Amino acid sequence: MTQELRARPVVVGVDASQAALRATCFAAEEATRRSVPLRIVHALGVFEGMTASPEHLDVSGLVNAGAQTLVQAMADSVGGLVPAHQVHTSVVEGDPVEVLRHASSDASLVVLGGRGVGGIEGLLLGSTASRVVATADCPVAVLPHDTAVRARGRRSVVVGVEGRGDEEVLAVAFAEAAARRTDLVAVHAWQDVVLETAFLSISPLIDWDVVMADEERVLAEALAGWSEKEPDVAVREVVVREKTARALVAAGLTAELLVVGHRRRRTLGSTTHGVLHRANCPVVVVPLGAGGNP
């Protein structure tokens, strides 16, 4: 990793919610681990950007002043975690998704709370977070609602491994595990719906041990060479006959972090969508094929 890439900031998108405050603290910890600046961003959306009122009040000025106060309060909240000169605040006019997507082009990580102001109870992933994850140029960390599950003594980084095209995801997962000085749980979930349906009535004739051995080989091949690249990271390999999202959410129940890949498009794939809506630990989504930031 070059010095230039290492210097890319951790960006956190904030509003006036408790979720944003938690996201800011998480982002500050990430910036400290990476020894990079922290950038706190608040986007002035269409409602905030109104410039006049019948009473001719300076609505725009008031809103901007309130936004500046907000980002400064967020900066103050991480005092002691990141040196003051490494904390930068920005109030930017525009749609929050576009503002954060643009910020992601020069960031090492974007951090978001799952739901912000106006979030619907029971919906773990807000529309802004979902759209940013789908289109960002760098990895995006999304924090779950803190009342979903509280687990003491969280440890391990969990990574989902498909068995093809996993290099970018594994690079992020190993780096996160090394930075946290914890182990990595590599999970390969598989479920051959066609095979199971076709042979439902004669399933005893299927040698599932052979099928499982083949899937274990898929995971081992995906991880080949990583022990030499990251010798200090202990790896636990898990192969499970289950839907991918369900397996990853279960594995992440007591984890520090869950890392998954996402093939960049305007909408999230079913696995990424399922993980983000159900995970009980922070999730880092890595854009695949972005040629981008580690």
pLDDT of residue 151: 79
- Pick from 56-70, 123-137, 223-237 the range whose average pLDDT is largest: 223-237
Query: 69-79 in b/e burial notation, b at 16+ Cβ within 10 A?
Result: ebbeebbeebe
Of 86, 120, 143, which one is at a domain's C-terminal end?
Answer: 143
Query: Quick check: is 65 in a domain?
Result: yes
Q: Would you say 100 and 110 are in contact if contact means Cβ atoms under 8 Å apart?
A: yes
The interaxial angle of helices 18-34 and 167-180, nearest 10 deg, is 90
Of 108, 143, 178, which one is at a domain's C-terminal end?
Answer: 143
The CA-based angle 286-165-215, given to 5 degrees, is 115
Residues 137, 98 share a domain: yes
Residues 129, 166 share a domain: no
pLDDT tens for residues 74-110? 999 998 889 999 999 999 989 999 999 999 999 999 9
pLDDT band at 123 (very low <50, low <70, confident <90, very high): very low
Query: Quick check: is 189 in a domain?
Result: yes
pLDDT tens for residues 184-234? 999 999 986 555 555 555 555 667 788 899 999 999 999 999 999 999 999
Residues 185, 127 share a domain: no
Residues 190, 130 share a domain: no
Which range has the worst mean pLDDT, 75-84, 122-131, 163-172?
A: 122-131
Residues 179, 66 share a domain: no
Q: Which helix (H) or strand (E) holds 249?
A: helix 244-251
How many structural domains does the chain have? 2
User: Which residues, 6 or more positions from 199, have their beta carbon under 8 angstroms from its beta carbon?
Assistant: 205, 206
Residue 61 domain boundaries: 3-143
Q: Would you say 248 and 102 are in contact if contact means Cβ atoms under 8 Å apart?
A: no
CATH of the domain at 61: 3.40.50.620
pLDDT band at 119 (very low <50, low <70, confident <90, very high): very low
Query: Quick check: is 151 in a domain?
Result: no
CB-side neighbour CA atoms (13 Å) of 139: 27
Which range has the worst mean pLDDT, 151-165, 215-229, 280-294?
A: 280-294
| Residue where the block lists tokens 């509003």 | 15
- Smallest CA-to-CA distance from 48 within 85, 99, 110 is with 99
Residues 165, 133 share a domain: no
Residues 196, 124 share a domain: no
In this prediction, residues 124-150 reach a mean pLDDT of: 82
Query: Quick check: is 67 in a domain?
Result: yes
Residues 100, 77 share a domain: yes
CATH of the domain at 211: 3.40.50.12370
